[in-house]
Amino acid sequence: MSKFLKYFLAVLLGSMVSALFFVLGLFMFIGILAASSGGEVKVADNSLLILDLNGPITERSSQDPFEQIIAELTGDVAPAGLNEVLAAIKKAGEDERIKGIYMESGLTMAGYATLEEIRNALIEFRATGKFVYSFAPVYTQKAYYLASVADKVYLNPAGMLDFQGLSAVYSFYKGTLEKLGIEMQVFKHGEFKSAVEPYILEKMSDEARLQSEVYLGSIWDHILEKVAAARGLDPEALNQSASGAPVMMSDEDLLATGLIDGFRYKDEVLSELKVLTDTDEKDDLEALSVGSYSKVYLPGKKKKGLEKNKIAVIYAEGAIDNGSGGIQSDKLSRTIREARRDSSIQAIVLRINSPGGSGLGSEIIWREVKLAKETKPVVVSMGDLAASGGYYIACAADSIVAHPNTLTGSIGVFGMLPNTQGLLNKIGVTTDRVTTNDFSDFPALDRPFNASEKALMQAYIERFYGIFLQRCADGRNTTVEAIDEVGEGRVWSGANALELKLVDKLGGINEALAIAAGMAELEDFRVVELPEVLDPFQQIMKSLSEGASTHLGRQILGEHYRTLQTIGEWQNTYPVQARLPFDLELN
C-alpha cells in the first residue's frame, strides 16, 4: 500500500508540475502573440481582402487568444465575428487600395440571417465598382447562398456543390427516456409550442409539421429569389435545378444550371486575380485577412472614438439562463441599465440571436428594455433566431428589424419536469418522505405529479402565457387577442412576421442603426459595442474554465454533443420556459 501511495503521489505531483509549466508556457506564448499583433498593418495598392469563413460565425469577435490556440492545435477554424467581417467589408469598399474581395467560404457554419447580413454587405461593396470572387473545393448550401452574390463563382473540377432545398431534421428522445425509466411531465400553452415534443413523442405533431413547412417554405422562396437575382436566373428554373440535386450532376449539367461560372483550380483563380490587380504572375498577391485589416485606419478618416454622441449595440446571443453560457439575464440586464444611464449614449440597438429560454430571465431582461425605451430610442436587430424568450425581450423596443430568413415569434410557454421513479426502481433505489403541507415536496422528481400538482403547474403556465401575451400586445400597440392569434407557440420567418406586424422592417444591423440614429436625431455618431470584450487574461481564464471543456466535448462526441448538451441543460433550467421548438438546424 505504501508503494502504491508513493507512486500515486509522484504521478500526481508530476501532473501538477506539468500543468504548471503548460500554463506558464501558454501565458508566454500569449504574450508573444499579443506583442507581435500590436504592430501597424500596411496596406499596399491593388490589395485584396480575404474572406475565409470556413467555420463558425458568431455575432461578434471575442478576441480570445486561447480560442485561436485551440483552433491551431486541433486544426479547426476559430470563429469569425460578424461585426468584424461587416466592418472590414464596409471599410474595404471605401479604401482605394483594396481592389476586390476574394472569398474561400465553402464550408461556412452560420444561419441564413447571418449570411444574409454578409451577403448584403458584399452587394454594397460591389456597388463601389470593385469585384468579389469566390472559390471553393466544396460549397455547402449555406456557403453557396453567400457565394452566389460574387462576380465569379468558381468550383474545383473535382468539387461538389450542394443546392437542393431546405430540410430540418429533429431528434426525439422518448424511446431513450422510456428505456431509462424516465417520464417527462409536460405542461404548456400553445398548440404549436412543440419544444416539448422530442421528450414525449416519436415524431412531429401535425401542428409542428405545419409550422415547419410554412417557415421553411418562406425562407426557401427568399433564397430562390435572391440567388436568381444575383445569377440572372429564373426562380422557377432555379428551383427545378435544385430538385435535380446539383451535388450529383455532371460538370456539363452543373454549368448549364447557371449556378457557377466555371471549374478552376486554385492556381488558376489566383492567376486571374493577379490580372485584375495588375500583379505580375511571378509575384504574390497583396492580400489581408479580416483580422489584420481590422487594425487598419483609412487615410483621411476620423479615428474611432472622436465622435461625442454614441449608439450602443448590445449583444444578446444564446439561450437565456440555461446553464451553458449564452445570455445571463442578470448580466444583460445590467448592461442595458448602464447604457440607459450613460448620458453619452443617445440610442440603443439590441442585437438578438437567441432561441429563448427561461421565462423568468426573459421577464427580467424585458423590464430593462422597457425602462431604457422610456429614456432613449431602443431598436432591436434580429439575427438568425429571436424566438420565444428572444421575442419576449424584443417586443418592448420602439422598432424591430429582422431579416426575411430570421426565425422569430414562437410566443408560447411550457414547463417540463422529469419523473425518475422508474429509473430509481430499475437500480434498486426507493424513496420515502414526511411532509407538513400538501405541497411541501413540490416539485418532486422521484414520483409522478398528483392531480392537484398538475393543476397547480398548468395554472402557472397559463398565467405566465397571459403575461407574455400582454407584454407583446403592449409593445406592438395591439390587443392580447391579436397576439394570441399569431401566438400559440408558432414559429414564423422574418418575412412572415413582417406581414403579421410582429416586426417593423426587414434588414440587418445597419438598418437598425439608421433607425436608431434617426429617432435620436443624430447625423454623426460612433458605435460602442456592449458588453465590453474581456481583456486577453480574462478571456484565457474564462476559456480554461468553460470553453476548453466545451471544445473537448465537441471533439470527442462530434454531432452528438449538441443532443447531450440539450438534455443536460434541463437539469438546471427554470421550470417555465419560453423557448424555440426543437433545436433547429437548417441545412
Of 342-346, 361-365, 570-574, the one with minimum mean pLDDT is 570-574
Which of residues 397 and 67 earns the better pLDDT score?
A: 397
Please check the confidence at residue 191 and state whether its pLDDT lies above 90: no
| HSE value, Cβ hemisphere, 13 Å, CA-based, for 214 | 17
Side chain identity, residue 407: L
Mean pLDDT of 245-261: 96
Please check the confidence at residue 571 and state whether its pLDDT lies above 60: no
Return mean pLDDT, the chain: 86
Please check the confidence at residue 575 and state whether its pLDDT lies above 80: no
Please check the confidence at residue 356 and state whether its pLDDT lies above 70: yes
Mean pLDDT of 301-310: 71
Provide the β-strand partners of residue 154.
135, 262
- Sheet containing strand 262-263, edge to edge, reads 262-263, 152-161, 131-139, 98-103, 47-51, 287-289
pLDDT given for residue 6 in this prediction: 52
For residues 352 and 320, the answer to whether their CB atoms sit within 8 Å is: no
pLDDT given for residue 537 in this prediction: 52
Q: What secondary structure does DSSP assign to 221-249, as a single string? A: HHHHHHHHHHHT--HHHHHHHHHT-GGG-
DSSP state of 532: P
Please check the confidence at residue 346 and state whether its pLDDT lies above 60: yes
214, 203, 273, 193: which is closest to 484 by C-alpha? Answer: 193
352, 282, 272: which is closest to 313 by C-alpha? Answer: 352
Q: CA–CA separation, 189 vs 187, rounded Å?
A: 7
CA 407 centroid distance within chain: 11
For residues 81 and 62, the answer to whether their CB atoms sit within 8 Å is: yes
Mean pLDDT of 333-348: 97
Which of residues 126 and 70 earns the better pLDDT score?
A: 126
| Residue found under cell 437542393 | 164
- pLDDT over 70 percentage in the chain: 81
Please check the confidence at residue 305 and state whether its pLDDT lies above 60: no
Of 95-104, 271-280, 287-296, the one with minimum mean pLDDT is 287-296
pLDDT given for residue 21 in this prediction: 47
Question: Radius of gyration (Cα) for the chain, nearest Å?
Answer: 26
Mean pLDDT of 393-413: 96
Side chain identity, residue 225: E
Q: CA–CA separation, 292 vs 49, rounded Å?
A: 10
Alpha helices by DSSP H, 183-205: 197-200
- What domains can be seen in the chain, in order of their start residue? 47-164+244-293 (3.90.226.10), 310-579 (3.90.226.10)
56-65, 195-204, 535-544 — most confident range: 195-204
Q: CA–CA separation, 206 vs 212, rounded Å?
A: 10
pLDDT given for residue 226 in this prediction: 98
Mean pLDDT of 33-59: 82
Mean pLDDT of 355-383: 96
pLDDT given for residue 32 in this prediction: 45
Q: Tell me the catalytic residues.
A: 193, 388
For residues 189 and 461, the answer to whether their CB atoms sit within 8 Å is: yes
The 10s digit of each residue's pLDDT in 444-497 is 889 999 999 999 999 999 999 999 999 999 999 999 999 999 999 999 999 999
Torsion angle in degrees (nearest 10) through CA of 579, 583, 586, 587 = 170
270, 242, 260, 271: which is closest to 153 by C-alpha? Answer: 260
Alpha helices by DSSP H, 437-479: 451-475
Q: CA–CA separation, 582 vs 587, rounded Å?
A: 15
CA 573 centroid distance within chain: 20
C-beta neighbour count of 328 within 10 angstroms: 16
Q: CA–CA separation, 353 vs 242, rounded Å?
A: 29
Please check the confidence at residue 529 and state whether its pLDDT lies above 70: yes
Q: Is 168 left (phi over 0), alpha (psi -120 to 50) or beta?
A: beta
Mean pLDDT of 331-356: 97
Mean pLDDT of 413-427: 90
451, 496, 333, 468: which is closest to 388 by C-alpha? Answer: 468
Mean pLDDT of 291-298: 89
pTM of structure:
0.85
| Residue found under cell 501511495 | 5
Q: CA–CA separation, 313 vs 188, rounded Å?
A: 34
Mean pLDDT of 90-95: 96
Q: CA–CA separation, 532 vs 551, rounded Å?
A: 23
Q: What are phi and psi of 280, to 5 degrees?
A: -65, 145
473, 512, 490, 511: which is closest to 395 by C-alpha? Answer: 473
585, 386, 413: which is closest to 503 by C-alpha? Answer: 386
Side chain identity, residue 296: V
